[in-house]
Every structure is written in C-alpha cells, then in structure tokens.
C-alpha cells in the first residue's frame, strides 16, 4: 500500500477514534459556532425593508453557507502546537521520520469527520424550520464549493501555522493569533457579506486572505460565483498566492524555531 | 567505526531572570534580564556499537540536554556530534529510523486509546508491513510480559504497564541506538526489574547501542559495564563502573565478627566505624593503610572472622555528587 495512503489511514483512523471519545465536547463546539445564525437573523430582518444586496432568503442562504464553510475550515492547531512546544511534547513528533504536520492535519480531518453527523442534523433542522431557504446547488456549486472549502481550510491552516511558530519564541502564541480574529470575522464575511461593504473596504478586503476562507466558498455554494465568473479565477489565484507566501514563511519560521527549541521538560 | 562520537559538544541556554515582587515584575516587563546557563560544557566521548553505557549525574547535571543533542531534538551551541553516521540535528529520516529516545516523563502513547492504535501509527510512519507489525508486537509484548493491556486504553493502565507499552512503541522499528532517559522513573520494584531485564535481553538480542540515564543505581549496576559521570555540565569520569571505586573511593570496608563484646571507642583507632551491632562491626579503612590496619586488628582484637570489600558503588557516586564539586582523591585508580 502506498505509504501516503497508509499514513493517512493510520493517523486519521486513530484520531477519529480519539475524537469519538470526546464527541460531547465536539458537539458543544458545533453549537458554539452559531454566530452565522445570529447574523442571519439580524440581516434577514434588516433586508425586509429592502435596499440591501440580498433579500431575506438570500441572507439566510448566505449565512447557512457561512456556517457550512466555517464547520469544515475551522483550525485549532495553534492550541495543540503551543502546548506541545511549551511542555516539550513536540519532541515526540520530532523523533519520528515523518513531518509533524501529519499529526496536526489528520487530527483536524478526523475531528471534521466526527463532527459531520451532528452538523448535518443542524442543517436539516434549519431547512425544516426555514423551508424557503432550501436551494438546489448546481454540480459546480457542489464540486467547486467543496474544493474551495478545503482550499480555505488549507489557507486557514497555513496562516495559523505561521502564528503557531511563534510558540518557539513566545509562550502564548495563541494569544497573538487572536489579533487576526477581528479581520477574520469582519473581512471574512462573517458579520456581513462583502457585497454589503463600501466599495473601498471591499476592494481592500479582497487583497487579504480573509474573504477567501469564508465569503468566497460560501458564495460558490449558493451559486453567486460560477465557473464562468472572473471572480472565481481571480479568487483562486489570490488564494494560491497567499497560500504559497504563507507556506514559505511558515517553513522559514519552522526551521528557525527548531534551532530555538529546547524541548523543555522532555 | 564508533556508533556515537561527540567532540567538544556543548549547549548553553539564555534564561530570563527576574526577582520576586510586584516592582521587580514590573521592571522585568520593560527591562528583561537574561543569564546564560551552560547546561553542557564542551564534552567529548565515543560509544561503540552494542555498548550499554550508563549516564549518571544529579538533577540539572546536563544528562537530558546531552541526550536531546544526541537524538537531534536540540541544536548544540558548539562542538560536533555524529550518531550512527549522521549529524543528529539535521533530523534526516534515515537517522530517525535508526534511533529512539525513551522518556520516562513523556510518552508518545495516545492517552485515551489502546496502545495498539499508537503502534498502527508507528508502523505507518516507519513503513512496517502489517504482518511484520503483528510479529514484532507479539515478540516484544512477550519479552515485556504484556498481553491484554494492548487493547485497553492507556489511561486505565498502571505506570509500569504504561512504561512497558511505551518501550514497545519506541522499539517497534528496531532502532540501532537507544537513548533511555529515566525509563524506570516512578516504577515499583517489580516493574523496575521487568524493564531492566527486558533492556538487557534487547541489548543482547539486537546488539543495540544503549545510553541510559537513571537515578536508580540498581539500573546502572545491573545493566551498564561502562558509565559516564557528569556534574554541572562537565564530564568527569568515563570508564568501567568498577573503576569508579578505584578512582574515587580511597577506602575499603572491613567487616569483623568478634568473639567477645567490644565498644565503639575500642574500634575507632582502626578506622571510621560505620556500624556496631552486637559483635559485628563494619569499618571503613583508607586503602593505603589497609594492610597495617588489618594486621593491628588481628593482633589486638578478638577477631573470629574478617572480610574486606569495596564500599557500595551507590554510596560512592552519591557522595561524589553530594560534594557539589568533584575532588579527585590522591589515590590512583582505573578509568580514563
């Protein structure tokens, strides 16, 4: 069996078993991600008066898509990584002839798998309560949406990886990472769709990585961005550029950080 | 070719230093002060393939830091080191496949899952086929006396069982070089003996090179013909375990059984009285005065039986580390 496939199966399988042991915590976490539903209520009410970029049903669909994207692109590796560095537990991963990323990436995939059934119940429940919001996605919306959600996950992961590397120098890298949460929520399209932003703010936001981790895949899912849209190609290009740049930065920080690592307590 | 070669290997850390109290904490926030700690001073040693070497020193002596440099976890500040022909801190996969580091206080097993899950991960990482994995787990678990523990969550195990399962995880890929950092830490006597016996058999069977640190002298005396002693970051002895006695203990223990009662005062002229229980006494006598002292004892005391032994190695090493600085006795001896 291919070594890559075997590693993926072994790591993901073990972490899936581990995540199932913590399923109650994971379900609570899903419930804690209800911000899009709150924003949905706010914007759908506001849209009843007209004058906004979408009608109430449009906002409902958009924020449901945001909820979906958020559930499959949530990244928490910095908390694990910081703990591993501070406690010296990173040593265990450094002693293996495999990148420590295997551990962190597959743990996220396994956590998504464990969360999926509960998440699906919430989505079904939503459509039962709000049937007007049901839409039939196009094949492109499904395939392109899923691909872009995983691109968004990769971009979020590599962005957090850069912050996580600061653990080698500062014991509380996760606190520093919190600084990017405000632009993430605001420019990412959590609080409002980017289409409702003033033109200069939207133009600026589109140059940052944040819209591509939420707003961009969400709009593909609800069919606002299609394969033919110039936005789609430009979005993918900007995403790839950010990913490449952050990947290089994270790799440099990783190499330098390892020289700084003392493996304390281990 | 040596399995481990270290030349002038050293490591220093920058550690922030602050005084206690509110004002000092405030000052420290704006004007951070650091001090340099020389965890390991330039040290050189070589270890041959298949050797079982004890690495001894008190807490903070630099043992674990040295092991971390040898296993590639941290970069040395100075010096050169090669392990199994590789420079450790480059962490090449070929190197990592040849070594393992067992840490008594840090384990790789996933806490909430049975050890078999962790072994599956290791098998995938080290490219061990499934049938070979089953064979190795069977063989090692038999050597370690493990059975049903392999399928129960790690958190439900005793400390001894966890350490045995951890050893199994660390040795699945059959490493050529084992760095063992306090593998018997916190274990009860039975578990210590089991781990010790396993390590001895592993060393004999696979000719693995082993560097062991332990605070339990019984581990060292049972397993290591050679020891390296380190104190305050400096190596001060590298040689046979037995050589420590010659080099650092300029005295012998003389045990006498007397045919009539005597007093401590009557024995004191012959040496330092360690114990006097009934008619049995133990004295320590300087090695250079041994012959004349024993002759005098036989001539003046009602001696029924007399034996001369080396003092226990534990007490010699313990005394050496307690001194705070190592003072070499005038007596000549072995070791390098």
Output the CA–CA distances (angstroms, integers) from residue A62 to A87, A134, A183, in the order listed.
42, 11, 19
Instruction: Note whether B257 and B244 are within 8 A (CB).
Output: no
Q: Is the CB of A97 less than 8 angstroms away from the CB of B100?
A: no
For chain A, domain boundaries? 3-260
Over B147-191, what HEC string results? CHHHHCCHHHCCHHHHHHHHHHHHHCCCCCEEEEECCCCCCCHHH
Q: CA–CA separation, B209 vs B175, rounded Å?
A: 9
Nearest residue of B to residue A84, measured between CA atoms? B106
How many Cβ contacts (< 8 angstroms) between chains A and B? Answer: 78
**Cβ-based contacts of B68 with chain A (< 8 Å):** 91, 263, 266
> Smallest Cβ distance to B112: which of A21, A89, A94?
A21
Q: Is the CB of A96 less than 8 angstroms away from the CB of B125?
A: yes
Q: Is the CB of B101 less than 8 angstroms away from the CB of A263?
A: no
> Smallest Cβ distance to A18: which of B93, B112, B123?
B112
What pTM, to 2 d.p., does this model score? Answer: 0.85
Q: Is B108 on the interface with A (CB under 8 A)?
A: yes
Which residues, 6 or more positions from B122, have their beta carbon under 8 angstroms from its beta carbon? A96, B128, B169, B172, B173
**Cβ-based contacts of A17 with chain B (< 8 Å):** 113, 117
Q: CA–CA separation, A63 vs B107, rounded Å?
A: 43
Burial A194-221, CB ≥16 within 10 A → b, else e:
bebbeeeebeebbebbbbbbbbbbbbbb
Q: Is the CB of B106 less than 8 angstroms away from the CB of A9?
A: no
Tokens standing for residue B13: 């850390």
| pLDDT confidence of residue B88 | 97
Q: Is the CB of B112 less than 8 angstroms away from the CB of A262?
A: no
Nearest residue of A to residue B71, measured between CA atoms? A95
Q: Is B101 on the interface with A (CB under 8 A)?
A: yes
* Exposure of B198 in the CB half-sphere (CA atoms within 13 A): 25
| pLDDT confidence of residue B335 | 34
Tokens standing for residue A90: 């990173």
- Provide the percentage of residues in chain A whose pLDDT is more than 70: 98
Output the CA–CA distances (angstroms, integers) from residue B272 to A93, B160, B263, in the order listed.
53, 41, 13
Q: Where in chain B is the domain with CATH 3.30.70.980?
A: 250-309
- Provide the percentage of residues in chain A whose pLDDT is more than 90: 77
Q: Is B97 on the interface with A (CB under 8 A)?
A: yes
Class of B250-309 in CATH: alpha beta
Instruction: Note whether B144 and B177 are within 8 A (CB).
Output: no
The 8-class DSSP code of residue B86 comes to: B
pLDDT tens column, A78-88: 999 999 999 88
CA distance A149 to chain B (A): 27
| pLDDT confidence of residue A1 | 61
Instruction: Note whether B243 and B225 are within 8 A (CB).
Output: no
Q: Is A5 on the interface with B (CB under 8 A)?
A: no
Instruction: Note whether A112 and A72 are within 8 A (CB).
Output: yes
Collapsing DSSP to helix, strand or coil, B113 comes out as: coil
Collapsing DSSP to helix, strand or coil, B104 comes out as: coil
Better-predicted residue by pLDDT, A226 or B287: A226
Edge-to-edge strand ranges of the sheet holding B4-16: B34-47, B4-16, B78-83
Instruction: Note whether B76 and B85 are within 8 A (CB).
Output: no
CATH superfamily of domain region B4-10+46-245: P-loop containing nucleotide triphosphate hydrolases (3.40.50.300)
Instruction: Note whether B187 and B195 are within 8 A (CB).
Output: yes
**Cβ-based contacts of A91 with chain B (< 8 Å):** 68, 73, 101, 103, 106
Tokens standing for residue B19: 């005084």
Q: CA–CA separation, B180 vs B167, rounded Å?
A: 10
| pLDDT confidence of residue B323 | 65
Output the CA–CA distances (angstroms, integers) from residue A78 to A87, A105, A108, A171, B273, in the order listed.
14, 12, 12, 12, 62
| pLDDT confidence of residue B25 | 75
Q: Is the CB of B120 less than 8 angstroms away from the CB of A10?
A: yes
Q: Is the CB of B97 less than 8 angstroms away from the CB of A18?
A: no
Q: What is the ipTM of this complex?
A: 0.87
**Cβ-based contacts of B13 with chain A (< 8 Å):** 262
Average confidence score pLDDT of chain A: 92
What tens-digit pLDDT sequence spans chain B (336 residues)?
899 999 999 999 887 777 778 777 777 777 777 888 899 999 999 999 999 999 998 888 899 999 999 999 999 999 999 999 999 999 999 999 999 999 887 789 999 999 999 999 999 999 999 999 999 999 999 988 888 889 999 999 998 899 999 999 999 999 999 999 989 888 888 888 989 999 999 999 999 999 999 878 888 889 999 999 998 899 988 999 888 877 777 788 899 999 998 889 989 999 989 899 989 999 989 888 899 999 999 999 999 999 998 777 777 777 777 765 455 443 333 333
Q: Is the CB of A11 less than 8 angstroms away from the CB of B121?
A: yes
Collapsing DSSP to helix, strand or coil, B243 comes out as: helix
β-strand pairing of B99-103 with B78-83: unpaired
pLDDT tens column, A5-33: 999 999 999 999 999 888 888 888 888 78
Q: Is the CB of A7 less than 8 angstroms away from the CB of B125?
A: yes
Q: Is A45 on the interface with B (CB under 8 A)?
A: no
Nearest residue of A to residue B75, measured between CA atoms? A259
CA distance A21 to chain B (A): 8
Q: Is the CB of A14 less than 8 angstroms away from the CB of B73?
A: no
Q: Is B174 on the interface with A (CB under 8 A)?
A: no
């Amino acid at each position: 069996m291919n070594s890559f496939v075997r590693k993926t199966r072994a790591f993901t399988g073990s972490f899936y078993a581990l995540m199932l042991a913590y399923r109650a915590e994971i379900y609570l976490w899903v419930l804690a991600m209800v911000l899009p539903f709150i924003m949905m209520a706010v914007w759908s009410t506001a849209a009843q008066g007209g004058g906004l970029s979408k009608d109430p049903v449009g906002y409902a669909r958009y924020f449901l898509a945001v909820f979906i994207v958020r559930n499959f692109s949530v990244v928490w590796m910095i908390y694990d990584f910081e703990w591993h560095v501070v406690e010296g537990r990173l040593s265990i991963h450094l002693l293996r002839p495999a990148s420590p990323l295997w551990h962190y990436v597959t743990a996220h995939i396994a956590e998504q798998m464990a969360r999926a059934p509960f998440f699906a119940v919430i989505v079904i429940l939503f459509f039962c309560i709000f049937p007007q919001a049901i839409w039939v996605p196009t094949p492109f919306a499904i395939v392109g949406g899923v691909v872009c959600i995983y691109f968004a996950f990769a971009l979020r992961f590599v962005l957090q990886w850069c912050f996580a590397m600061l653990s080698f120098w500062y014991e509380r890298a996760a606190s520093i990472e919190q600084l990017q949460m405000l632009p993430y929520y605001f420019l990412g399209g959590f609080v409002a769709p980017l289409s409702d932003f003033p033109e200069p703010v939207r133009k600026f936001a589109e140059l940052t990585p944040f819209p591509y981790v939420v707003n961009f895949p969400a709009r593909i899912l609800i069919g606002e961005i299609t394969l033919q849209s110039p936005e789609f190609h430009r979005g993918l290009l900007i995403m790839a550029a950010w990913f490449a740049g952050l990947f290089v930065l994270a790799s440099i920080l990783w190499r330098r950080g390892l020289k700084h690592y003392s493996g304390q307590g281990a | 070719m040596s399995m481990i070669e270290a030349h002038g290997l050293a490591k220093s850390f920058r550690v922030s230093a602050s005084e206690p109290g509110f004002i000092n904490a405030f000052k420290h926030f704006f004007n951070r002060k650091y001090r340099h700690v020389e965890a390991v001073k330039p040290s050189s040693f070589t270890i041959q393939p298949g050797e079982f070497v004890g690495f001894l020193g008190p807490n903070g002596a630099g043992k674990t830091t040295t092991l971390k440099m040898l296993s590639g976890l941290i970069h040395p500040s100075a010096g050169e080191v090669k392990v199994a022909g590789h420079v450790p801190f480059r962490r090449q996969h070929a190197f990592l496949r040849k070594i393992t580091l067992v840490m008594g206080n840090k384990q790789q097993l996933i806490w909430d899952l049975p050890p078999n899950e962790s072994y599956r991960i290791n098998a995938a990482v080290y490219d061990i086929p499934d049938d070979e994995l089953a064979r190795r787990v069977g063989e090692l678990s038999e050597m370690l006396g493990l059975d049903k523990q392999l399928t129960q969550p790690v958190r439900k195990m005793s400390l001894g069982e966890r350490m045995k399962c951890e050893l199994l995880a660390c040795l699945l890929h059959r490493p050529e070089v084992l760095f063992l950092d306090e593998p018997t830490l916190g274990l009860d006597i039975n578990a210590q003996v089991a781990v010790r016996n396993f390590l001895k058999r592993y060393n004999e069977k696979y000719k693995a090179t082993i560097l062991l640190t332990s605070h339990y002298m019984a581990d060292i005396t049972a397993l290591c013909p050679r020891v390296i002693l380190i104190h305050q970051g400096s190596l001060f002895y590298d040689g046979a375990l037995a050589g420590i006695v010659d080099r650092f203990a300029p005295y012998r223990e003389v045990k006498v059984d007397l045919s009539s009662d005597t007093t401590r005062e009557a024995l004191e002229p012959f040496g330092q009285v360690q114990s006097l229980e009934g008619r049995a006494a133990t004295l320590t006598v300087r090695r250079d005065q041994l012959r004349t002292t024993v002759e005098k004892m036989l001539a003046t005391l009602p001696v029924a039986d007399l034996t001369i032994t080396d003092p226990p190695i534990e007490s010699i090493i313990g005394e050496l580390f307690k001194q705070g600085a190592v003072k070499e006795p005038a007596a000549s001896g072995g070791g390098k």
